[in-house]
Structure 1
Amino acid sequence: MSLGAFAIPGDLNLPTGGYGYDRAMLAALPELELVHLTDLGLDPDNAALERAARELAGTGPIVIDGLALGVLPAALLNSLNRPIIALCHHPLGLETGLAPDQATRLMESERAALSACAAVITTSERTGQILRTQFDVNDPVVIEPGIALRPVAARGNTPPTLLTLASFTPRKGHDVLLGALERVADLPWQAVWAGAEPDEAWLNRIEEVIAASGLGARITRRGPVSDKARDEMLAGADLFVLPTHYEGYGMVFAEAMMAGLPILACAGGAVPDVVPGAAGHIVEPGDVVALGDRLRALLTSQDQATRMAAAARAHALTLPSWSDQAALFAATIKRIAQ
Structure 2
Amino acid sequence: MTPQIAFAVPGDIRTLTGGYLYDFNLMTALSGLGPPIQHMAWGDSFPQPSADHADAALAQLQALPPDCPALVDGLAYGALDTDGLRRVRAPLFALVHHPLALEPGLDAAQARDMARREQANLDLARHIFVTSPHTGDLLHQSYGVSVDRITVVRPGFGPPVQGGAAKADPPLILSVGLLTQRKGHDVLLRALAQIADLNWQADIVGRDHEPSMTARLTALIDDLDLAPRVRLSGEVSSAALQARYCSATLFALATRYEGYGIVFGEAMGHGLPIISTRAGAVPETVGAEAGLLVAPDDADAFATALRRMLSEPALRDTCARASLRAASDLATWADSAVLVRDAMVLP
TM-score (norm. length: structure 2): 0.93
* 1:66 Cα deviation from its structure 2 partner: 0.4
C-alpha RMSD of the superposition: 1.4
Tell me the equivalent position of 1:21: 22
* 1:112 Cα deviation from its structure 2 partner: 1.3
Alpha carbons 1:14, 1:224 under 8 Å: kept: no
Matched residues in 2 for 1:130 and 1:234: separation? 31
Tell me the equivalent position of 1:42: 47
Alpha carbons 1:88, 1:120 under 8 Å: kept: yes
* 1:152 Cα deviation from its structure 2 partner: 2.7
Deviations 1:296-318 (A, max 9, x none): 01111122111111111111101
1:307-318 equivalence runs, <5 A? 307-318=318-329
1:219-230 equivalence runs, <5 A? 219-230=230-241
Matched residues in 1 for 2:37 and 2:50: separation? 29
The 3-state SS of whatever aligns with 1:163 is strand
* 1:42 Cα deviation from its structure 2 partner: 3.3
Tell me the equivalent position of 2:58: 53
The 3-state SS of whatever aligns with 1:188 is coil
Matched residues in 1 for 2:256 and 2:330: separation? 24
Structure 1, 261-270 or 205-214: larger mean CA deviation: 205-214
Which residue among 121, 125, 128 is the counterpart of 2:129? 121
Say whether 1:152 aligns with 2:197. no
Matched residues in 2 for 1:255 and 1:46: separation? 37
* 1:151 Cα deviation from its structure 2 partner: 2.2
Alpha carbons 2:131, 2:155 under 8 Å: kept: yes
Which residue among 289, 305, 309 is the counterpart of 2:300? 289
The 3-state SS of whatever aligns with 1:93 is helix
Matched residues in 2 for 1:96 and 1:46: separation? 23
Alpha carbons 2:173, 2:200 under 8 Å: kept: yes
1:125-140 equivalence runs, <5 A? 125-139=133-147, 140=150
The 3-state SS of whatever aligns with 2:284 is helix
Call closer, same or farther: CA 1:64–1:275 in 2, change over 3 Å: same
Say whether 1:328 aligns with 2:328. no
Structure 1, 257-266 or 301-310: larger mean CA deviation: 301-310
Alpha carbons 2:10, 2:46 under 8 Å: kept: no
Matched residues in 1 for 2:220 and 2:327: separation? 34
* 1:39 Cα deviation from its structure 2 partner: 2.0
Matched residues in 1 for 2:180 and 2:195: separation? 24
Structure 1, 110-119 or 170-179: larger mean CA deviation: 110-119
1:92-107 equivalence runs, <5 A? 92-107=100-115
Tell me the equivalent position of 1:10: 11
Matched residues in 1 for 2:233 and 2:179: separation? 10
Structure 1, 119-128 or 153-162: larger mean CA deviation: 153-162
Alpha carbons 1:155, 1:237 under 8 Å: kept: no
* 1:45 Cα deviation from its structure 2 partner: 4.2
Alpha carbons 1:6, 1:32 under 8 Å: kept: yes
Tell me the equivalent position of 2:177: 166
Matched residues in 2 for 1:164 and 1:301: separation? 20
Alpha carbons 2:58, 2:80 under 8 Å: kept: no
Deviations 1:202-235 (A, max 9, x none): 3322121111111011111111222222211111
Deviations 1:47-87 (A, max 9, x none): 33221122333121000000111110121111121100000
1:64-213 equivalence runs, <5 A? 64-139=72-147, 140-152=150-162, 154=165, 156-213=167-224
Q: Structure 2: which 5+ runs fail to align?
A: none
1:294-305 equivalence runs, <5 A? 294-305=305-316
Alpha carbons 1:73, 1:112 under 8 Å: kept: no
Alpha carbons 2:42, 2:53 under 8 Å: kept: no
Matched residues in 1 for 2:167 and 2:49: separation? 49
* 1:99 Cα deviation from its structure 2 partner: 1.5
TM-score (norm. length: structure 1): 0.96
The 3-state SS of whatever aligns with 1:40 is coil
Structure 1, 262-271 or 145-154: larger mean CA deviation: 145-154
* 1:106 Cα deviation from its structure 2 partner: 1.1
* 1:32 Cα deviation from its structure 2 partner: 2.2
Say whether 1:33 aligns with 2:38. yes
Number of residue equivalences: 336
Matched residues in 2 for 1:54 and 1:227: separation? 35
Alpha carbons 2:160, 2:328 under 8 Å: kept: no
* 1:150 Cα deviation from its structure 2 partner: 4.4
The 3-state SS of whatever aligns with 1:217 is coil
Call closer, same or farther: CA 1:300–1:155 in 2, change over 3 Å: farther
Corresponding letter in the other structure for 1:278: E
Alpha carbons 2:160, 2:324 under 8 Å: kept: no
